[in-house]
């Protein structure tokens, strides 16, 4: 299994509070991604990173920010959480050295915003 650790695995918080999710990899892969998965929508890309301090927006980036100060860590921040951000969040990594390299996923973070 790819060495990907997401923390926390579960979190319950209140509307308006800041939340930070962490993704840590031990594979030294260049690319890292944050997705959310909701019923009826599948996996949707929030933000991704193509190197240290190099990040870009995905299709559902509003309300989220990211940072990558080290190769191994990719942080997702909800500055002021809303109930619509209740979801399961997955981090993924890929090497990108060859076109057939798949993304490998962490175990997910289940976030509930009350």
Binding site for another protein (CB under 8 A): 31, 35, 40-45, 48, 50, 56, 58, 90, 94, 96, 99-108
Least gap, CB of 85 to another protein (angstroms): 19
Considering the complex, what minimum distance in angstroms separates the CB of residue 78 from another protein? 21
**Under 8 Å CB-to-CB from 110, ≥6 apart: which residues?**
9, 10, 11, 88
Question: Nearest to residue 96, comparing CAs of 24, 27, 11?
Answer: 27
Dist CA 97 CA 77 (whole Å): 28
Residue with tokens 């175990």: 107
CB of 6 to another protein, least distance (A): 9
User: The tokens of 89 are what?
Assistant: 């969040």
Question: 35 or 72: whose CB is closer to another protein?
Answer: 35
How near is the Cβ of 7 to another protein at its closest, in Å? Answer: 14
Instruction: Please compute, for residue 18, the number of CA atoms within 13 A of its CA located in the half-sphere on the CB side.
Output: 7
């Amino acid at each position: 299994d790819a060495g990907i650790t997401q923390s926390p695995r579960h979190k319950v918080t209140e509307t308006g509070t800041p939340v930070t999710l962490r993704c840590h990899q031990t594979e030294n892969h260049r690319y890292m991604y944050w997705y959310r998965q909701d019923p009826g929508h599948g996996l949707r890309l929030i933000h991704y990173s193509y190197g240290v301090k190099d990040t870009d927006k995905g299709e559902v980036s509003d309300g989220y920010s990211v940072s990558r100060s080290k190769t191994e860590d990719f942080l997702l921040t909800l500055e002021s959480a809303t109930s619509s951000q209740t979801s399961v969040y997955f981090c993924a990594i890929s090497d990108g050295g060859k076109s057939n390299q798949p993304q490998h996923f962490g175990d997910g973070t289940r976030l509930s915003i009350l």
